[in-house]
Every structure is written in structure tokens, then in C-alpha cells.
């Protein structure tokens, strides 16, 4: 803007490696007087014409335009409204019988009305098509965000979370119980926590369901909150799901959501330091900060959203919304992204979030290894629940696993030190408790400096603390606060905006306790309950395998979740592992990021050894490239990719080479697999190449002898 601002451009160009960064043209925004000054050589009159008259003339010729279109252009799928209604009612009748319980019918009608009148049915149908396709291909899909608050989403198969209140239902005679006194005791909790019961009509065991989540978290009270359906597909399946959007909408109608990478604080600071250092200049800290802050946020590169797909409706041209490009100037990629950041156009065009996640991949591998359908796993299994409190189900002691007293190492979202401390503080007893803890652990300033203190001081308990967004709205409505206001308060708190004086006043007038208001004011970000419930369902299933199918669990964990598994450090026996662990722990303050990951994986391996299981040495002819295999009742065969330095591609190459027959020598192995000689030497040291001679010639000599 001003002449002195050129320093920022200078710094950024220097940071980008431009040699001529110090030769800056005087590029800045000139005032009218400065412009007239620049043009004095034309004479006064001509200068005024050029600087003032003509520029105004041009401006007058241009109508007011916005770089992005203002209108909303959702894709159209014929009869979405009708199809959605049909799918939901078919599913509801298959679960709850020909005469739907009134809670089911009312919720369905209420939601369908809201969804259809606001034009969101098409979003549901798209999500439904994607999820059904993935399920058909053998992969569960996890739901993210608040979509599990929608019973229509449940009935359309988009989410596994059933948001109705806790209830029993009979799949045999269609008896149901939503309102008996014993069921109502579970208000706010999950139906799976209720005791088992047989159908009073036909005697069959009843099914239990419901997580008690209000629909309003998803669409707002007037159905006017812009909904987002975010789905977690298996990482292995994500690209297929992306391709499938082209099948649904037609070629050329889907684009990856583009992002704009800007200069981050640290990078900017680094640029300034380097610039001064290279020129032998010394600047005060405050001056460096000032210049760095002027550089922050400048566009640096373009990229793509990890799962965002932008949908272009038929009959429209993408160029009327945004230019398109290949990301990061990479002309070789097939990916086409929107040039505008998707936030700038998501009011026009539908964006689908099709993300990749490890949980569905884990579940698929566990199902393949055990033949058990993960969806049949009960969510009230006591042994599984005990993992979150003690080690009894694993039949080991804390001293066996470096003092850890819980069984949830490696359970998604529950295996970190932060969450394990939360488990010790709160002692969960049920699925609902785990959902609360998941809410607490995913929020910002919801647990630390907040619920943790309140629980320790005895002001609230795990079941009364604010754990998820939904808790606030449900609680306030129950206290008698107007439902629309309750929703607004929830939205304000979950976004970290705290409470306005009017909100506080209204809450006090409804007898909301001081601690509750205090807690609301501290919260910076909160998880929706539906998301917590979806995560805990996946985690619980994985935990079930950990208890009952330990080798399958460890095989799947090491194949999919482990990020730094190392054959040499971990697979050569418990004693050796523990020696390495002791060394890592001694250096715990100076571990690199990679070493921290190694230590994390070591803890799981230690637990596996403690439970009496072991690894078999890798047999290069039998090991798989990336997946561990169960060899017998006690042992796993690690994958080839666990050998340090042997990358994913090299592991694949080994497997491919084996198809052409056995290796004759180490040289033969190296030339056929393209594995580096360092790795070949390591493999030989580890005894993985058996008695292969060094080269083919020696084997010929051996033969002659």
C-alpha cells in the first residue's frame, strides 16, 4: 500500500530464493496527487484527463460485479424428496414394524418436513448413495460431525448413530418401549446401557438402541442451518468414493475443493531472520516481529482439501463460479481443483466431505481376519468396558506394560496419555460415559481448566458436566429456557463466543447454577454428541476385537495404525524390545517426532508380548508387503514394510519379484527388487535372507566343488 511496505515483498521474494529480491520496483498505491505528480510531463491538463477523467470513465463503464456468483446452485437428482421418504419409511418399517411407534413417526415427519422444505433432500440422497456403495463393497462408513443427530440420516443408512431416545424394540413382534419408567431413567444416555430384557409379548430378547440426540444440532430450530454431511470412508476406499461421485453426477461435474496455502507465522519469521542474516543486518526482536507479521497470510501456494468434492449441477459451466487449475502448479496430476478457495464458493455449490479414515479400514481387516460382522458387536460388553478402567480383561498387570494401568492402548481416541488420565479421573462405567469422555476430550477448554476442576471440586459429575454441544441445549430446554434461545446459547458457546449478558440473565432466571454458566464461558470449541457417539461405536468395536481376538487386533493395528513400526526394534523378542524402550524413555525429552511414534508403537508391542503372543521371523517368501498375518494361535508374521528403510514401493517390489521364482543370491535379490544395498545388508544381518550367497557366481563355484 505505502512505499515502506515494499520490505514485505522483498522478504518474501528472498525467502522464495529470488536473487534480485533487493531490486524492488516502487510498487505501491498512489494517491491522486502522487499520480498527477507522476504525469506532470504530459502537462497539467492532459495529466488531469489521464489520471482523473479517463479512469472515472472506465469505472463508469463497468457495472458492479462480484467475483463469485451470489446464487445457490445445488445439484439436482430427480425425485430426491420422494426417494428419501421411501427409503426412510422402508427402513423404519423393517425395524419397528408396520405400525410405527409414535416417537419414530413423529421424528421422521418432523425431520423430513424440515429437510425437504429447505431443499436438503438431495444432499441426503447423495450421501446415501455413497454410503450404500461403500457398504456394498465391504467397507463401513463412519459419520463425522452432527449428521448422526438426524434420524432421517439413520434411516437412510448414512449414519449408524440412532438419535432417538433410549428404547427397546422387538424385531420379532415389533413391540417397542420408549416411555416406561425404566426406559426414561436413561434419558440423555444410550439405549445400549439399559439392562437386557425379553419381549413381554413374544419372549424374544429385545434390541436396545437410541443415543438421545436432538435433531436441531444438525439443522437448527427452523431447519435453516446450512448442513454439512461429512463422511469417514476407509482410507483404502476414499479414492473409489471420489470416483463414484463422477458416476453419480457425470464426468466433468465434480472438482476437488481447492485450498490456498498462506505464509504461516513461523515461516514468515524464518524468512525475516534469514534475510537479515544473509545481509549481515541486526534487527531488534520487535522489528523482526513487525516485519514478519506483515508477511503472514500472503498466498504461498495452492493445494487441495483432503476430501472435499465440489459438485457442479448439470446445465452450468464451472467457469461461472470459479476458474479451475491443477494444484501447486503440478501439470502432471490428473486432479483438477477449484482455483477459489472452497470457502468462497460453498454458498453456491455443494461441497461433499469424503474423507479417509483408519477406523473403517481397521474394521474391514478385523472382519476379514475373524469372520465376525462388526455390526453385531454388543455395545455393553462388560469386558470391553473394563479396558477403560483396568487391565483385568487382558489378564496382565501394570508392571507388565511399564506401569500403565488401563487396557485402552491403541484404542482409537482413547489410547493417548491425555485421554487415559481423563479415564482415571472419571472412571467410566458405560457406553454413555465413553461418549461423554469423547466429547470432553475433543473440545477445547471443555475438560482442562473446566470440567476437570468442577468434577474434582464435586460441583458436577461426569453425567452432569457439559461434554457436548447438545448437552447445553437439552439441559437449558429442560430448565425451561425457550428452545430457540437454548439453541442460540449452544451455538454461541460451542463456537467459543461465550455468553452475552442477556443470555446469562435468562439462564440465571431459569435457575441455571453458577458453575454451569462459568463452564459455558470458558469453552472454546465443542464436539457434537453425534460425532462422539459415532467415534465411540467404532472404538468400542475395535476394543471388542482387542479383548476377544487379540492376534487379529494386533495384526490390524500394526498393519494400519502403527506409524513407525520397526522390525529390528520390536520383533526380536520382549527382552530386546524392553531394552530399546528403556533407552527411549531415558531420552524422553530429546526424542525426535519419529522416535516418539516408535515409542508409541513399542508400548502396543510390549502389551502384546505381555499377553503371551510373539512374532515369527519374517519369511520373505511368505510375508505380505504391508499386512501382518496370523501364523498360528500365538504368533504374527510381520509385513515386509516393517524392515527399516524398506519403503512401501520396495515391499511391493519384493512380493512381485517372488512371483518370478526364488532368489539365487543377495545380488539377485537386489537387482530384482531394486532394494538398496544398505537394506539388503540389514536384512542379511537380521537373518532374513537365509543362506543366500552374496552373488550368483559364488553359487556357481559352490556347485563346481
Q: Which residues make up the interface to Zn ion (CB under 5 A)?
A: 170, 172-173, 175, 199, 201-202, 204
Please name the residues in contact with 641: beta carbons below 8 A apart, sequence gap of 6 or more. 625, 626, 647, 648, 651
CB of 95 to Zn ion, least distance (A): 13
Closest to 12 (Cα-Cα) out of 212, 337, 264: 264
- β-pairing, 207-209 with 176-177? unpaired
Q: In the complex with Zn ion, which residue's Cβ is closer, 206 or 420?
A: 206
Cα–Cα distance for residue pair 138/122, rounded to 1 Å: 25
Q: In the complex with Zn ion, which residue's Cβ is closer, 99 or 320?
A: 99
User: What is the 3-state composition of the chain as percent helix, strand, coil, each rounded to the nearest 5?
Assistant: 50, 10, 40
Q: In the complex with Zn ion, which residue's Cβ is closer, 138 or 200?
A: 200
3-state per-residue secondary structure call for 128-163: HHHHHHHHHCCCCCEECHHHHHCHHHHHCCCCCCCC
CB of 165 to Zn ion, least distance (A): 20
Q: In the complex with Zn ion, which residue's Cβ is closer, 123 or 170?
A: 170
DSSP state of 468: S
Q: In the complex with Zn ion, which residue's Cβ is closer, 174 or 663?
A: 174
Q: In the complex with Zn ion, which residue's Cβ is closer, 173 or 591?
A: 173
The label of the residue with cell 420408549 reads 178
Is residue 698 within 8 A of residue 668, CB to CB? The reply is no
CB of 166 to Zn ion, least distance (A): 18
Is residue 164 within 8 A of residue 187, CB to CB? The reply is no
Extract the C-alpha cell encoding 325: 487449475
CB of 198 to Zn ion, least distance (A): 8
CB of 180 to Zn ion, least distance (A): 15
Q: In the complex with Zn ion, which residue's Cβ is closer, 103 or 207?
A: 207
Extract the C-alpha cell encoding 367: 472382519
CB of 209 to Zn ion, least distance (A): 15
CB of 194 to Zn ion, least distance (A): 16
Cα–Cα distance for residue pair 687/291, rounded to 1 Å: 57
Cα dihedral sign, 58-61-64-70:
negative
Q: In the complex with Zn ion, which residue's Cβ is closer, 204 or 596?
A: 204
User: Which DSSP string do the residues of 226-273 spell out, in sequence order?
Assistant: ----EEEEETTTHHHHHHHHHHHH-TTSEEEEEEEEE--HHHHHHHHH
3-state per-residue secondary structure call for 40-67: HHHCHHHHHHHHHHHHHHHHHHCCCCCC
- β-pairing, 635-637 with 614-615? parallel
205 three-state secondary structure: strand
Q: In the complex with Zn ion, which residue's Cβ is closer, 164 or 170?
A: 170
CB of 170 to Zn ion, least distance (A): 3
CB of 96 to Zn ion, least distance (A): 12
Cα–Cα distance for residue pair 340/349, rounded to 1 Å: 12
Amino acid at each position: 500500500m505505502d512505499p515502506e511496505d515494499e520490505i514485505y515483498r522483498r522478504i518474501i521474494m528472498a525467502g522464495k530464493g529470488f536473487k534480485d529480491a533487493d531490486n524492488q520496483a516502487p510498487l505501491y498505491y498512489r494517491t491522486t496527487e502522487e499520480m498527477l505528480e507522476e504525469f506532470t510531463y504530459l502537462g497539467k491538463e492532459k495529466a488531469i484527463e489521464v489520471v482523473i477523467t479517463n479512469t472515472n470513465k472506465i469505472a463508469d463503464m463497468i457495472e458492479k460485479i462480484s467475483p463469485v456468483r451470489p446464487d445457490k446452485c445445488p445439484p439436482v437428482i430427480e425425485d430426491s424428496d420422494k426417494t428419501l421418504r421411501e427409503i426412510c419409511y422402508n427402513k423404519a418399517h423393517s425395524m419397528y414394524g408396520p405400525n410405527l411407534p409414535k416417537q419414530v413417526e413423529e421424528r421422521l415427519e418432523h425431520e423430513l418436513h424440515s429437510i425437504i422444505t429447505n431443499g436438503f433432500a438431495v444432499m441426503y440422497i447423495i450421501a446415501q448413495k455413497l454410503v450404500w456403495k461403500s457398504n456394498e463393497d465391504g467397507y463401513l462408513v463412519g459419520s463425522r460431525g452432527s449428521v448422526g443427530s438426524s434420524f432421517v440420516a439413520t434411516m437412510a443408512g448414512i449414519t449408524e448413530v440412532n438419535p432417538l431416545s433410549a428404547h427397546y424394540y422387538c424385531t420379532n413382534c415389533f413391540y417397542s418401549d420408549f416411555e416406561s419408567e425404566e426406559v426414561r431413567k436413561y434419558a440423555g444416555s444410550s439405549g445400549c446401557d439399559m439392562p437386557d430384557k425379553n419381549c413381554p409379548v413374544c419372549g424374544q430378547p429385545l434390541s436396545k438402541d437410541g443415543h438421545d440426540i436432538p435433531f436441531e444440532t444438525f439443522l437448527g430450530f427452523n431447519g435453516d442451518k446450512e448442513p454439512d454431511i461429512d463422511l469417514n470412508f476407509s482410507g483404502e476406499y476414499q479414492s473409489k468414493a471420489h470416483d463414484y461421485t463422477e458416476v453419480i453426477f457425470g464426468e466433468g461435474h465434480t472438482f476437488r475443493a481447492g485450498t490456498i496455502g498462506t505464509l504461516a507465522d513461523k515461516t514468515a519469521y524464518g524468512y525475516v531472520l534469514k534475510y537479515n542474516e544473509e545481509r549481515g543486518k541486526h534487527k531488534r526482536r520487535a522489528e523482526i516481529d513487525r516485519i514478519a507479521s506483515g508477511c503472514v497470510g500472503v498466498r504461498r501456494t495452492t493445494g487441495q482439501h483432503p476430501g472435499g468434492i465440489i459438485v457442479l449441477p448439470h446445465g452450468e459451466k464451472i467457469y461461472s463460479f470459479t476458474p479451475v487449475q491443477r494444484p501447486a502448479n503440478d501439470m502432471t496430476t490428473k486432479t483438477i481443483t477449484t482455483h477459489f478457495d472452497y470457502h468462497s464458493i460453498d454458498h453456491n455449490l455443494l461441497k461433499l466431505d469424503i474423507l479417509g479414515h483408519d477406523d473403517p479400514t481397521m474394521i474391514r481387516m478385523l472382519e476379514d481376519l475373524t469372520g465376525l460382522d462388526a455390526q453385531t458387536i454388543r455395545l455393553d460388553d462388560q469386558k470391553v468396558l473394563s479396558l477403560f478402567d483396568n487391565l483385568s480383561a487382558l489378564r496382565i498387570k501394570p508392571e507388565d506394560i511399564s506401569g500403565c494401568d488401563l487396557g485402552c492402548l491403541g484404542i482409537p481416541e482413547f489410547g493417548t496419555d491425555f485421554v487415559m488420565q481423563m479415564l482415571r479421573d472419571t472412571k467410566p462405567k458405560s457406553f454413555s460415559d465413553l461418549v461423554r469422555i469423547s466429547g470432553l476430550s475433543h473440545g477445547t477448554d471443555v475438560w482442562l481448566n473446566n470440567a476437570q476442576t468442577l468434577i474434582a471440586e464435586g460441583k458436577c459429575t461426569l453425567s452432569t458436566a457439559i461434554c457436548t454441544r447438545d448437552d447445553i441445549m437439552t439441559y437449558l430446554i429442560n430448565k425451561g429456557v425457550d428452545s430457540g434461545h437454548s439453541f442460540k446459547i449452544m451455538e454461541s458457546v460451542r463456537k467459543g463466543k461465550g455468553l452475552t449478558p442477556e443470555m446469562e440473565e435468562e439462564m440465571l432466571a431459569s435457575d441455571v447454577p453458577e458453575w454451569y454458566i462459568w463452564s459455558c464461558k470458558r469453552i472454546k470449541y465443542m464436539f457434537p454428541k453425534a460425532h462422539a457417539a459415532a467415534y465411540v461405536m467404532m472404538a468400542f468395536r475395535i476394543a471388542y476385537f482387542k479383548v476377544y481376538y487379540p492376534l487379529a487386533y494386533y495384526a490390524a493395528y500394526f498393519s494400519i495404525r502403527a506409524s513407525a513400526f520397526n522390525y529390528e526394534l520390536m520383533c526380536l523378542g520382549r527382552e530386546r524390545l524392553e531394552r530399546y524402550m528403556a533407552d527411549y524413555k531415558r531420552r524422553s525429552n530429546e526424542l525426535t517426532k519419529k522416535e516418539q511414534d516408535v515409542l508409541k508403537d513399542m508400548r502396543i508391542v510390549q502389551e502384546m508380548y505381555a499377553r503371551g503372543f510373539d512374532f515369527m521371523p519374517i519369511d520373505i517368501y511368505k510375508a505380505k508387503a504391508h499386512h501382518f498375518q496370523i501364523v498360528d494361535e500365538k504368533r504374527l508374521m510381520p509385513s515386509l514394510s516393517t524392515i527399516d528403510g524398506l519403503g512401501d514401493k520396495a515391499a511391493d517390489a519384493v512380493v512381485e519379484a517372488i512371483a518370478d521364482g526364488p532368489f539365487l543370491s543377495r545380488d539377485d535379490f537386489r537387482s530384482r527388487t531394486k532394494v538398496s544395498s544398505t537394506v539388503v545388508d540389514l536384512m542379511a544381518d537380521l537373518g532374513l535372507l537365509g543362506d543366500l550367497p552374496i552373488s550368483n557366481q559364488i553359487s556357481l563355484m559352490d556347485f563346481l566343488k
